[in-house]
Amino acid sequence: MWQQLVLIVLSCLAATIQHGTAERVRYDNYKVYELQPQTAAQLETIKALDGSSDSLRFVDPEYNVDTKIYVLIAPHSVTDFVATLKESDISYELVDENAQNSLDTEELVADANRPSGEYTWTEYHELNDTYAWLRSLPEKYPEQVSVFVVGQSYEGREILGVKISYASNVDGATKRGIFIEGGSHGREWISCATPTYIINQLLTSTNADVRKMAESFDWYVVPHANPDGFVYTHTTDRIWRKTRTPYANDCFGADPNRNFDFHWNEAGTSNTSCGEMYAGPRAFSEVETRALAEYISTLKGKLILYLTFHSYSQQLLYPYGYTSELPPNYNDLKRVFDVGVAALSKRYGTNYTGGPIYEEVNPVGGDSNDWAYGVMEIPYSYAFKMRPSLSEGWIGFRLPAEQIIPASEEVMDSMLVMVKEIRTLSML
Ligand SMILES: [Zn+2]
């Protein structure tokens, strides 16, 4: 009996040591409130709450007046929280009595129908699984695919990318490049799955339009721009957003999509290291963003299109984030946006909206789309904020796995016509 107990205790200890991480963060009896600010003053009150306490977590901090905001509140803080809302006359509704129950419904199990050793898009993968698949590609497509290492994350994980390049143009002209960045925010799993879906399509699709697009450009795809944050959502806290660099007040991480060196920290950031949108102590303080920027800098002048993936809200966005001023080639950006949004709804009727980040989401400084456009001078720079829509409640970044393929298919439809339009506008 005692021996058995000792064995159990020892094996539990071993498991804890092996994983090397703190125990899983749970949200038992956390309430989820839906807030709808109607004035700038109410918005400020809500923003001031971000990072103010451990007992309050924002589901998606990128909000504005008249958007729905979801907040998780620890049971002991509910009274104070509701009092703050009432004081500022902010309309609110309790939409979930126990956040943990909802988090537990997410399907994390592997797809039972998956042939062993195969990589599929009917389930979400862990980092190592995706990296093994990326590393297997050059063996299968030695002429077209090479794997590159962007750099190391704070916790020492590699940031991997693949380059896909078909034979040169007939006339020998140098090909332009398209860069795809996924996984900037840990919890937005679809933002990693779709870039891998695109890689697979560029390599295997028999559709003539996809083939033409694949072969006309050099492609650089980085599905996990923030591997530490992503792994942390698997091991410890499903709703983690930022990197994992330790900062003041025992808080971790900066928001990678506020950390780029272009109008850094000018707008849309948290002032505290505990905030969801903490810009970091300085531009490129995060090794992940610095490494990505250094890699992209080696391609300066070559890239014509920069695509980032995020979730959720079904929006297609483009510069600028930091100012309401329109970018120099706004008319072209808008034309490409228009065809892109129209194509997103063709296959499944999915309704995307969008426009310049500043107008459509909120003022944002130091995001990668602005940096790619403003510093790298990549003339076309877009962010897909993918399914679901904001009206589907706080399910948000936990898009069901059975939607990975349809959500990615409609993005491919959109990319096809966007790239075609860019070719026309650029006379490529
Ligand atoms: Zn995001």
Residue 136's identity, in one-letter code, is: S
For ligand 1, the distance from its centroid to the CA atom of residue 88, given in whole angstroms, is: 28
pLDDT, tens only, 289-298: 999 999 999 9
Domain that holds residue 87: 31-100
Domain final residue pick, 49, 82, 100: 100
State the pLDDT confidence band at 6, using cuts at 50, 70 and 90: very low
Establish if 25 belongs to a structural domain: no
Using the mean position of ligand 1's atoms as its centre, give its distance from the Cα of residue 174 in Å.
Answer: 33
* Contact present, 410 and 344 (Cβ < 8 Å): yes
- The residue count for the chain: 428
pLDDT value, residue 80: 94
Q: How far apart, in whole angstroms, are the C-alpha atoms of residue 174 and residue 168?
A: 7
Residue 116 has pLDDT above 70, yes or no: no
Q: For 413, left (φ over 0), alpha (ψ -120 to 50), or beta?
A: alpha
CA of 294 to the centre of ligand 1 (A): 21
pLDDT at 110: 55
pLDDT in tens, 412-421: 999 999 999 9
Global pTM? 0.91
pLDDT of residue 61: 67
User: 82 C-alpha vs ligand 1 centroid, how far in Å?
Assistant: 28
CA distance readout (Å), 50 to 30, 66, 72, 422 = 16, 18, 11, 39
Give the residue, 397 or 347, on which the prediction is more confident. Answer: 347
Give the residue, 391 or 389, on which the prediction is more confident.
Answer: 389
Q: Is residue 90 part of a domain?
A: yes
Among candidate residues 183, 196, 220, the one with its CA nearest the CA of residue 134: 196
**219 domain-assigned:** yes
What's the gap in Å between 297 CA and the centre of ligand 1? 22
Digit-coded pLDDT (tens) for 75-99? 999 999 999 999 999 999 999 999 9
Query: Does residue 205 share a domain with residue 71?
Result: no
Band the pLDDT of 151: cuts 50, 70, 90.
very high
CA of 287 to the centre of ligand 1 (A): 18
Residues 211 and 318 in one domain: yes
Of 122, 142, 125, which Cα lies nearest the Cα of 203? 142
Kindly state whether residue 359 falls inside one of the protein's structural domains.
yes
Residue that wins the pLDDT comparison between 212 and 105: 212
DSSP assigned state of 175 = P
Q: What is the pLDDT of residues 241-279, one digit of tens each?
A: 999 999 998 999 999 999 999 999 998 887 789 998 999
Q: 154 and 41, same structural domain?
A: no
What's the confidence (pLDDT) of residue 106?
Answer: 73
SS3 344: helix
The pLDDT confidence band at residue 13, using thresholds 50, 70 and 90, is very low
Q: State in Å: Cα 10 to ligand 1 middle.
A: 40
Q: Is residue 193 domain-shared with residue 276, that is, in the same domain?
A: yes
How close is the Cα of 310 to the center of ligand 1, in Å? 4
Please write the tens of the pLDDT for every residue from 174-204.
899 999 999 999 999 999 999 999 999 999 9
Domain presence at residue 46: yes
pLDDT of 16 higher than 90:
no
pLDDT of residue 58: 86
CA of 298 to the centre of ligand 1 (A): 25
* 169 confidence band (pLDDT: 50, 70, 90): low
* Ligand 1 center–CA 185 separation, angstroms: 5
Q: Residue 99 has what pLDDT? A: 93
Q: How far is the CA of 1 from the centre of ligand 1 (A)?
A: 51
Q: How far is the CA of 184 from the centre of ligand 1 (A)?
A: 6
What is the rounded CA–CA span in Å between residue 400 and residue 191?
A: 13
Residues 91 and 157 reside in one and the same domain? no
